[in-house]
Amino acid sequence: MPGQESVKTPSPGAIVSVRGSVVDVRFDEHLPPIYSVLRAGDQGRIIIEVLAQLDARHVRGIALTPTQGLARGMAVQDTGGPLEVPVGNEILSRMFDVFGNVIDRGAPLSKFELRSVHQAPPPLARRSTKSEIFETGIKAIDVLMPLERGGKAGLFGGAGVGKTVLLTEMIHNMVGQHEGVSIFCGIGERCREGQELYHQMKEAGVLPNMVMVFGQMNEPPGARFRVGHAALTMAEYFRDDEHRDVLLLIDNIFRFIQAGMEVSGLMGQMPSRLGYQPTMGTELSRLEERIANTDTGAITSIQAVYVPADDFTDPAAVHTFSHLSASIVLSRKRASEGLFPAIDPLQSNSKMATPGIVGARHYGLAQDIRRTLAQYAQLKDIISMLGIEQLSPEDRNVVARARRLERFLTQPFFTTRQFTGLDGKLVSLEDALDGCERILRDEFKDYPESALYMIGAIKEAKGKAKPGSSTVESESKARSDPAAKSRHSASRTKPQPTPEHAGDAHES
Ligand SMILES: Nc1ncnc2c1ncn2[C@@H]1O[C@H](COP(=O)(O)OP(=O)(O)OP(=O)(O)O)[C@@H](O)[C@H]1O
Ligand SMILES: [Mg+2]
């Protein structure tokens, strides 16, 4: 295994103190530089990364493995180099940990090159600036916040609003058609999810162009802090040496910041705002700036960002926002209404959504959709106080249009088939735009809202319902007649937004 290869330039040291993951080591001859990797314990199993030189004889490091069994006076070997991971075509279809050991129970790598995980971002002159759209097949994203090829997109959301599901769906939709290499990096999330994803990808037959790297929540902070760098090093190899496009998926970049916070705390640094490390900005930009487009290839990255306590002003979320070219915000309210993917179109944005890039028609439509949804959001207060009947006929039309748009922008996912019972749908940008345009033109005014819910292209609405029952009427009927309501809901698959949700247009 690559991580366990022999020591290069032995220079013995001795452990002075061990406090959790923090290890102080004394070296009498040569003091190892920052980022050197030290090995201690049985067969050098305990791996320590030097983070500070305390004085002429002592260094302080963080263990990247559990420190069980480590004791004062034990010998420490300086490997003479930084943390390294294998790169090359051999790593395709394999699963690794932060040290570059294979963890998919397959045979160890036979031939490989090792590369340091600490690399500088590409210089300004080598960066490319072309803007191209990256289609995902997910209506809400392609229409309202198109992703950039070679850009960075963030999926923001609190706990359990569907970040992982959306990310997995994007992998599903893109990896098959993407000619390049995909790298999945799991940072500090559930181990189970890594295993599930591996098997899903294997079944889908896309593993040959994929690499997975995991430092999940069971691992020490040092390992979670470095696993992102390990994945990026592999991505950079494919971009710079093989000149291929790389799709880098990270779940979850917040855990990288959190691991940095733990490391910083262990090293005795004074915490900054809300307990975050004072170096959060530099740590994050050192990682994010390596994700870049160059003249040889592009790294497109999609990152899930956990938002602590749904607070979007949290420093971790704010810092991450500033690195992204598209931010997709998932809202708990929508998730609770069953409107999946729970994307909040009014809070999400993309710098690609300009007429010069997406074209005048797409831009105009996206603006119209946003305007309609924003008007509906404003009218919601009035509706909840006075009832929909008090609105002017124009406003009522806006509400009807907005609710149909909201439903049309939901989509059944391939990856959620087990719990929704619906087959996934991939929708082309053209179909998605077409549907939105026709809804804005009131072509679907006479269709019940549910006909537009969880469908793919707009033509499926025709098959799902017969025109004739107008919204407001059908909603009030459903409300006054509980039997009709339950019939209505029983005929649909979960998650079901309508009965209670339809009521929110009338709550008084
Ligand atoms: N598109 C969807 N369709 C149907 N259900 C969904 C969808 N997205 C999310 N869900 C539901 O929400 C649950 C949580 O989703 P997910 O695990 O993706 O959340 P998360 O944001 O990654 O949470 P965490 O922060 O805990 O990792 C899923 O198990 C599923 O029940
Ligand atoms: Mg998740």
pLDDT tens-digit profile of 194-203?
Answer: 888 999 888 8
pLDDT band at 206 (very low <50, low <70, confident <90, very high): confident
d(CA 78, CA 317): 37
In this predicted structure, the answer to whether residue 9 has a pLDDT above a threshold of 90 is no
- Is residue 408 within 8 A of residue 435, CB to CB? The reply is yes
Question: Would you put residue 316 in left (φ > 0), alpha (ψ -120 to 50) or beta?
Answer: alpha
Distance (angstroms) between ligand 1 centre and the Cα of 256 equals: 21
Q: Lowest-confidence range among 132-136, 307-311, 416-420?
A: 416-420
Give yes or no for residue 507 having a pLDDT over 80: no
CA dihedral angle for residue 66, residue 70, residue 75, residue 80, rounded to 10 degrees: 20
pLDDT, one tens digit per residue, over 378-404 is: 999 889 888 888 889 999 999 999 999
The pLDDT of residue 420 is 86
Verify whether ligand 1 is closer than 6 Å to residue 188 (CB atom): no
| Pocket perturbation via mutation, ligand 1, pick of 138, 139, 164, 413 by most ligand atoms within 8 A of CB | 164
418 Cα–ligand 1 center, Å: 13
User: Which one is catalytic: 45, 57, 190, 332?
Assistant: 190
What pLDDT, on a 0 to 100 scale, did the predictor assign at position 331?
Answer: 94
- 157 in contact with ligand 1, CB cutoff 6 A: yes
- The predicted model scores a pTM of 0.87
Confidence of residue 494 (pLDDT cuts 50, 70, 90): very low
SS3 276: coil
pLDDT at 7 over 60: no
Positive or negative: CA dihedral 28, 33, 35, 37: negative
Does residue 480 have a pLDDT over 50? no
Q: Closest residue (by CA) to atom 28 of ligand 1?
A: 162
Which one is catalytic: 49, 135, 169, 189?
189
- Ligand at minimal distance from the CA of 158 is 1
The pLDDT value given to residue 506: 40
List Cβ neighbours of 91 (8 Å cut-off, separation of 6 or more): 109, 112, 211, 234
162 CB near ligand 1 (under 6 Å) = yes
Nearest protein CA to atom 20 of ligand 1, as residue: 160
Compute the C-alpha angle 480/492/336, nearest 5°: 80
Question: Is the pLDDT score of 504 beyond 60?
Answer: no
Which atom, in ligand 1's list, is nearest to the CA of 189? 27
Residue 11 has a pLDDT of 55
Judged against a pLDDT cut of 60, whether residue 264 lies above it is answered with: yes
223: left (phi over 0), alpha (psi -120 to 50) or beta: alpha
- CA angle 170-173-175, nearest 5°? 90
Determine the Cα–Cα distance for residues 79 and 37; give it in Å rounded to an integer.
6
Q: Would you state the pLDDT for residue 467?
A: 55
What Cα–Cα distance (Å) separates residue 220 from each residue in 25, 42, 70, 398? 19, 19, 15, 53
Across the chain, what does the average pLDDT equal? 87
Residue 130 bears catalytic tag: no
**Does residue 190 carry a catalytic annotation?**
yes
- Answer yes or no: 438 catalytic: no
Mean pLDDT across 283-305: 92
